[in-house]
């Protein structure tokens, strides 16, 4: 089934989830969460890589792309949270700014494609809430110190996700916009997997 066919039969969010499911699952399997989130050095390395990805992606994606389509996008940016975590782990602002940035991210020059990219990062806020207890237990980091990225919106994770879903569905209600967002979400997962885990063997 092609992306535009999915968009004719279900909501945009459901179409994005179905189309990106395989790429999402492959990334999760390759991440090795137990190693990355229970070892301090591996955790910091993961945050540095996520910083590099978000710096590249969010550097070309801002409120000017979404306009009125997603009025609170700036509040949803992940880079400030990751930067705060790295500084809490001992880095300084200058060293963080010099971290390598991902050299390949999806182009998000219009809202539909941008929604696909942000769908991946907003979905990570849900996963982050499940990983936060592990990091707290194993490493002693909290949403206030060292795990702001995982804590994301704190107690507002569910309402922020519900709001994003509703706005995405409303904007991507046409098959063309939905298909563009769907392809962008799939591409975002693929680029993120390559950046975090290397090329598949």
pTM (whole model) above 0.85:
yes
pLDDT at 186 over 90: yes
CATH of domain 32-197: 1.20.910.10
1: confidence class by pLDDT, cuts 50, 70, 90: very low
Separation between Cα atoms, residue 130 and residue 21, nearest integer Å: 18
201: confidence class by pLDDT, cuts 50, 70, 90: low
Give 136-181 pLDDT, tens digit per residue: 999 999 999 999 999 999 999 999 999 999 999 999 999 999 999 9
Domain boundaries, the chain: 32-197
Q: Are 20 and 186 in contact (CB under 8 A)?
A: yes
Q: Which residues on adjacent β-strands are paired with residue 145?
A: 142
CA atoms within 13 A on the CB side of 173: 5
Separation between Cα atoms, residue 78 and residue 65, nearest integer Å: 16
Q: Are 31 and 43 in contact (CB under 8 A)?
A: no
CA angle in degrees (0–180, nearest 5) for 50-148-133: 100
């Amino acid at each position: 089934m092609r992306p535009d066919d999915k968009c004719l039969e279900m909501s945009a969010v459901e179409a994005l989830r179905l189309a990106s499911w395989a790429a999402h699952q492959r990334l999760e399997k390759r991440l090795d969460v137990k190693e990355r989130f229970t070892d301090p050095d591996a955790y910091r390395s993961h945050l540095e890589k996520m910083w590099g990805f978000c710096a590249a992606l969010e550097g070309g994606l801002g409120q000017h792309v979404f306009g009125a389509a997603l009025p609170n996008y700036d509040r949803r940016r992940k880079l400030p949270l990751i930067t705060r975590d790295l500084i809490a782990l001992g880095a300084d602002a200058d060293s963080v700014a010099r971290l390598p940035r991902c050299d390949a991210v999806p182009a998000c020059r219009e809202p539909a494609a941008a929604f696909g990219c942000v769908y991946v990062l907003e979905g990570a806020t849900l996963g982050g809430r499940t990983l936060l207890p592990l990091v707290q237990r194993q490493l002693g980091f909290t949403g206030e110190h060292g795990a702001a990225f995982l804590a994301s919106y704190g107690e507002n994770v569910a309402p922020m996700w519900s709001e994003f879903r509703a706005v995405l569905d409303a904007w991507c209600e046409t098959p063309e916009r939905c298909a563009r967002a769907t392809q962008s979400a799939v591409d975002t997962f693929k680029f993120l997997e390559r950046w975090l885990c290397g090329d598949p063997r």
